[in-house]
Amino acid sequence: MFITTHSLSTNTIRCLFSIHQIPNNFLYPMEMGNNSTKQTHSHSHFHKLSLHRPNHNHNSAPIVTMSNNNNAATKADPEAEEPTWPELLGSNNWEGLLDPLNLSLRKLVLRCGDLIQCTYDAFNNDENSKYCGSSRYGKASFFNKVMFEAASDYQVVSFLYATARVGHREAFFFHSQSRESWDRESNWIGYIAVATDEASSALGRREIYVVWRGTTRNYEWIDVLGADLESVQSLMHPPHVSAAKQGNDGDASSSDSDDDNEKVPKVMRGWLTIYTSDDPRSQFAKTSARVQLLTKIKGLIKQYQDEKLSVTLVGHSLGASLSVLSAFDLVENGVSDIPVSAIVFGCAQVGNKAFDQRFKSYPNLNVLHVRNTIDLIPHYPGHLLGFVDTGIELVIDTRKSPSLKDSKNPSDWHNLQAMLHVVAGWNGKEKEFELKVKRSLALVNKSCEFLKDECLVPGSWWIEKNKGMVRDEKGDWVLAPPGDEDLPVPEEY
């Protein structure tokens, strides 16, 4: 239940997703904009929205609920018409909702961020534990044990597991040092959650969330993998990329020719490796994360076929890139009649121009990228290597908050909780920071020391009690085993 900090070399800072201690003389990057556009569409049959806050002892966004009042408005602007649910998910490219930041969208973004934080809070990265690489908590008690605000409104219906090809696995994943490890081939990489029947009745729709975990690895894994582009022909159905060159093994190669990069949709090989790799030796990753996701979403759509549905994929850092890729995959392979959106934080560039153009061609597919203007990660791998930005950006600046240090540490610029803190009080580039929703300031320091000392909040405070050590019946201190309900169990598909 804790996230550690690590020291990394500066020569790889531009391409790491878990950056921690960097020299203080590291300079801020130049600000870069995103001019991406997308054909708009509407879903006029959806009702308007209102919001209420569940009575939970926590700190995040209220649940978004349906209202039959088509003239409902936010308190901030009583004359403003409240956006529909599809509009909050990007059906109109979030036009008019970002500056100033619409209250309902602000709360939705915070909800998505807190769903992502659950993966960091639950992930077991203690290599002394034989359950290292798994979730500390089972599906039934997951939201309660990570103290998620709306625990009673959502249920985890599936865990997602990933592996990687030989040569890449150690760059991505944690593994136990114990000979009795739960699984040596895979890691828990996220989960799928669905709104409960009661919440769905109040909402007037069934929300499905796919939540991808970012990496907490202290390994310079981008240096191992590089930033090669690889064709996504394997995700396209039916195969449309006839121009893709074939390698000796029959897979589409990562040709570097300018003509190939202009015409063939490609993404960074690392994202594709994690998403599509499987390992028959693993009980948990016998099928790839991709197959697990597509199978489960297909089943949920069939299960709730008589209800209004939406699928929202969320992630931070590495998880953000997987969210964009998997959102594309869902729509590319048949999810065409319901909104599919990726709401992501600190996302690296995922693919090339051809990938971005194909992504934009789907009217029900949208990406909102919450980007801290001084964060380095969204500028990687870079336009010179053929990558482009995907989606609409909500650009924030952590330097606006009076509670945050003037940090020169790039890991702070990329910190999820710091971004959420700023989203809660963001009023645009020209206006002062002012909280618009209640959110505990202490959350910022869950896994860092970004808050000013006068806030009196200890750094990296989210840890397992005694780091999971307990006294056994013999009086010896040992790592506590998980309860039966929290033991890793292979998913059934």
- Active-site positions read 317, 375, 414
Alpha carbon distance 363, 421 (integer Å)? 31
Alpha carbon distance 23, 447 (integer Å)? 19
Amino acid (one-letter) located at 195: A
The stretches of 307-360 forming alpha helices (DSSP H) are: 318-332, 353-360
Q: Which secondary-structure segment (H or E) carries 211?
A: strand 206-212
DSSP type of residue 144: H
DSSP type of residue 23: -
Written as six digits, the tokens of 8 are 């990394």
CA angle at 447 for the pair 445 and 453, rounded to the nearest 5°: 30
Written as six digits, the tokens of 241 are 């990329």
Q: Which secondary-structure segment (H or E) carries 187?
A: strand 187-195
The residue count for the chain: 493
R_g (Cα) of the chain, nearest Å: 22
Crossing angle of helices 289-303 and 269-276, in 10° steps, is 60
3-state helix, strand, coil in the chain (%, to 5): 30, 20, 55
Written as six digits, the tokens of 285 are 């990753």
191, 156 in Cβ contact below 8 A? Answer: yes
DSSP string, 418-468: HHHHHHHH---SSSPP--SS---GGGGGGSS--B-GGG---SS----GGGG
Closest CA to 104 of 126, 79, 81, 132: 81
DSSP string, 78-116: TTSPPPBHHHHTTTTTTTTTBTTBPHHHHHHHHHHHHHH
SS3 for 36-76 is: CCCCCCCCCCCCEEEEECCCCCCCCCCEEEEECCCCCCCCC
Q: Give phi and psi for 342, each to the nearest 5.
A: -115, 120
